[in-house]
A and B are shown apart, each in its own frame.
Chain A
Amino acid sequence: MSDLRDLYQEVIFDHNRHPRNFGPFPEANRHADGFNPLCGDRLTLHLRVEGGVIREARFEGAGCAISTASASLMTEALKGKTEAEAAVLFEGFHHMVMGEPVTVDLGKLSVLAGVSEFPARVKCASLAWHTLNAALKNESNPVSTE
């Protein structure tokens, strides 16, 4: 097994202890709920999308350090991105956590690359991103990682 420190990097602890963009967001116009039945992680994602651009992203919920940090980092990365750019990030992130070659620049999101060495935790890291997908499609049913 890879070193635990590859998974639990300082940035991840920081975002777990102090999640960014955390809390309700009444001005949002897109919402989705995500649920990981395996571990009970739940999160709600709120987006303000104007003219195809994500102006604001916030989240609420309770989860493990990996899922909380991933959601926090994701909301930071999304601001100002077009929906098409967000879709590219989603794909790149997915490749990264699956341990596949990544062709896009994921910036700070790459601190989660260590997840690929911990297959049981891939769903934790992906939950926020699957929820994003649902929010952009405005799906009303909660997405589940199972």
Chain B
Amino acid sequence: MFDVHAMRRQFPILAREVHGRPLVYLDNAATTQKPRAVIDAERHYYEFQNANIHRGVHALSQEATDAFEGARDKVRNFLKAPQREEIIFTRGATEAINLVAHSWGRANLKSGDEILISEMEHHANIVPWQLLCEATGAVLKVIPIDERGALVPGAFESLLGPRTRLVGITQVSNALGTVNPVADIIRKSHAAGALVLVDGAQAVAHLPVDVKALDCDFYVFSGHKLYGPTGIGVLYGKREHLEKMPPYQGGGDMIAQVTFKKTTYNELPYKFEAGTPHIAGAVGLGAAIDFVQSVGLETIAAHEDALLVQATRLASGFEGLQVIGTAPGKASILSFVMKGVHPHDIGTILDSEGVAIRTGHHCAMPVMDHYHLPATARASFALYNTPDEVDALFRALRRVEELFLK
């Protein structure tokens, strides 16, 4: 039986107050809080193991290397990737997408080729492709969304064509909560000869991922949205692609041999990991994965779904409040607007009540344009949120109403 109060005790920050009120942290889609196990893992690394990796012959270097490579194995297992060489550590999902766009994209795309993304993408899965299109003359095409915030049925199939080289799609929308049918998209893309990159930044903390079963070519996520540290993320790529791709950045660790005439590159995954990586971050991410797996993603999803159902019910009884993003089966994100009150004002008033939500465009300006909104307010739930906190959110929204509309 999942005990949310026992769970909360594992997160030190949840005990603090904000403006004299208990913290109600509902900005989990931006970043999640960190359990003691993750904080301790980083601390332990710095207190006992800190050294540079893959170099020294001394004991600490070996221990640090083992800790870092152990984290890679945890990621491989977490994503069900066939080989550890297919797991590249990056600074986050954003850098992982940029790596693919830069390395795979510039080596493979030519003028007239097409990249297909969706209207609900985060800027991180838009701008790297725009830069690539500018550099190569490729064309960016966009799968539209409907009023629910789901992909328009049939639109993907009609945009997918013989010139489509890559499809970049988010598994879960950060602004709307929509869960996309990525398995179907991957199958159809492959049939059309296109590769698929799945942006898993919002997905990994909510649903189990199996990159082998999905058969995606690339999968990216960030550690900090998975209860892990900031500054560490992952690119999974099929080995056959990664082997052929040129390095993204040059530097230490990614080389085999350097002379001024010619440099040969290291093998996978190190070819894509130039410079000293965020070793402590990787160790912390490994601890975060252990933590999430010990709870179980099915348990987490069930808990969050119950909170979303409760929040959606309270929202539907709140006059003047409109939920943005109503796709069936969506993840635990409640984006909304309130008639007569700008989201930014909602955010400030909620903050004064200790309730932390996100307000703004959520790095998804095209989604805002779609709904003709400058911004939305967004509450996003995680495994440590409680039904009482959902009630606190709506109590605070009543306060907004009182201040602004009465």
Q: Which residues of A contact B342 (CB under 8 A)?
A: 39, 41, 62-65, 68
Q: Which of B350-404 contact A (CB under 8 A)?
A: 351-352, 359-361, 365, 368, 373-375, 403-404
Q: Which residues of B contact A120 (CB under 8 A)?
A: 347-348
Assess whether B403 is in contact with A64, with CB atoms less than 8 Å apart: no
A121 at the interface (CB under 8 A from B): yes
Assess whether A4 is in contact with B345, with CB atoms less than 8 Å apart: no
Q: How many angstroms from the CA of A8 to the CA of B348 in the assembled complex? A: 10
Q: Which of A37-78 contact B (CB under 8 A)?
A: 37-42, 62-66, 68
Q: Which residues of A contact B345 (CB under 8 A)?
A: 8, 64-66
Overall SS of chain B's interface = helix
Answer whether A40 and B19 are a contact pair too, CB < 8 Å, given A13-B404, A65-B345, A121-B348.
no
Assess whether A39 is in contact with B352, with CB atoms less than 8 Å apart: no
Q: Which of B38-69 contact A (CB under 8 A)?
A: none
Q: Which residues of A contact B375 (CB under 8 A)?
A: 39-40
Q: Which residues of A contact B347 (CB under 8 A)?
A: 120
B297 at the interface (CB under 8 A from A): no
Assess whether A39 is in contact with B348, with CB atoms less than 8 Å apart: no
Instruction: Tell me the nearest residue of chain A to B403, going by C-beta.
Output: A8
Assess whether A124 is in contact with B19, with CB atoms less than 8 Å apart: no
Report the count of interface residues on A (CB-CB < 8 A). Answer: 21
B2-41: contact bitstring with A at CB < 8 Å (1 yes, 0 no)?
0000000000000000011000000000000000000000
Q: How many angstroms from the CA of A40 to the CA of B19 in the assembled complex? A: 26
A7 at the interface (CB under 8 A from B): yes
The smallest C-beta distance from B398 to any residue of chain A, in angstroms, reads 14
B349 at the interface (CB under 8 A from A): yes
Q: Which residues of B contact A118 (CB under 8 A)?
A: 348
Instruction: Tell me the nearest residue of chain B to A3, going by C-beta.
Output: B352
Q: Which residues of B contact A38 (CB under 8 A)?
A: 360
Q: How many angstroms from the CA of A42 to the CA of B342 in the assembled complex? A: 12
Assess whether B359 is in contact with A39, with CB atoms less than 8 Å apart: yes
Q: How many angstroms from the CA of A63 to the CA of B360 in the assembled complex? A: 11
Q: Which of B318-370 contact A (CB under 8 A)?
A: 341-345, 347-349, 351-352, 359-361, 365, 368
Instruction: Tell me the nearest residue of chain B to A61, going by C-beta.
Output: B374
Instruction: Tell me the nearest residue of chain B to A1, going by C-beta.
Output: B19
Q: Which residues of B contact A66 (CB under 8 A)?
A: 344-345
Assess whether B352 is in contact with A64, with CB atoms less than 8 Å apart: no
Q: Which of A95-132 contact B (CB under 8 A)?
A: 118, 120-121, 124
Q: How many angstroms from the CA of A118 to the CA of B351 in the assembled complex? A: 11
Instruction: Tell me the nearest residue of chain A to B360, going by C-beta.
Output: A39
- Which of B341, B342, B343, B375 gathers the greatest number of chain A CB atoms within 10 Å? B342
Assess whether A65 is in contact with B359, with CB atoms less than 8 Å apart: no
Pick the residue among A1, A4, A7, A62 that contacts B374 (CB under 8 A): A62
The smallest C-beta distance from B138 to any residue of chain A, in angstroms, reads 27
Assess whether B348 is in contact with A40, with CB atoms less than 8 Å apart: no
Answer whether A39 and B403 are a contact pair too, CB < 8 Å, given A65-B342, A124-B344.
no
Q: Which residues of A contact B361 (CB under 8 A)?
A: 37, 39-40
Assess whether A40 is in contact with B374, with CB atoms less than 8 Å apart: yes
Q: Which residues of A contact B341 (CB under 8 A)?
A: 65
Assess whether A64 is in contact with B344, with CB atoms less than 8 Å apart: yes
Q: Which residues of B contact A41 (CB under 8 A)?
A: 342, 344, 374
The smallest C-beta distance from A92 to any residue of chain B, in angstroms, reads 24
Q: How many angstroms from the CA of A62 to the CA of B341 in the assembled complex? A: 11
Q: How many angstroms from the CA of A42 to the CA of B368 in the assembled complex? A: 14
Answer whether A40 and B404 are a contact pair too, CB < 8 Å, given A64-B342, A65-B342.
no
20 example contacts (A-B, Cβ-Cβ < 8 A) are as follows A8-B349, A37-B361, A39-B343, A39-B344, A39-B360, A39-B374, A40-B360, A40-B361, A40-B365, A40-B368, A40-B374, A42-B374, A62-B374, A63-B342, A63-B374, A64-B345, A65-B345, A65-B404, A66-B345, A118-B348
A39-B343, A39-B361 are known contacts; what are 16 more A-B pairs with Cβ within 8 Å?
Answer: A4-B349, A7-B348, A8-B345, A38-B360, A39-B342, A40-B361, A40-B373, A40-B375, A62-B374, A63-B342, A64-B342, A65-B341, A65-B342, A66-B345, A120-B347, A121-B344
Q: Which residues of A come within 8 Å of B, CB atoms?
A: 1, 4, 7-8, 13, 37-42, 62-66, 68, 118, 120-121, 124
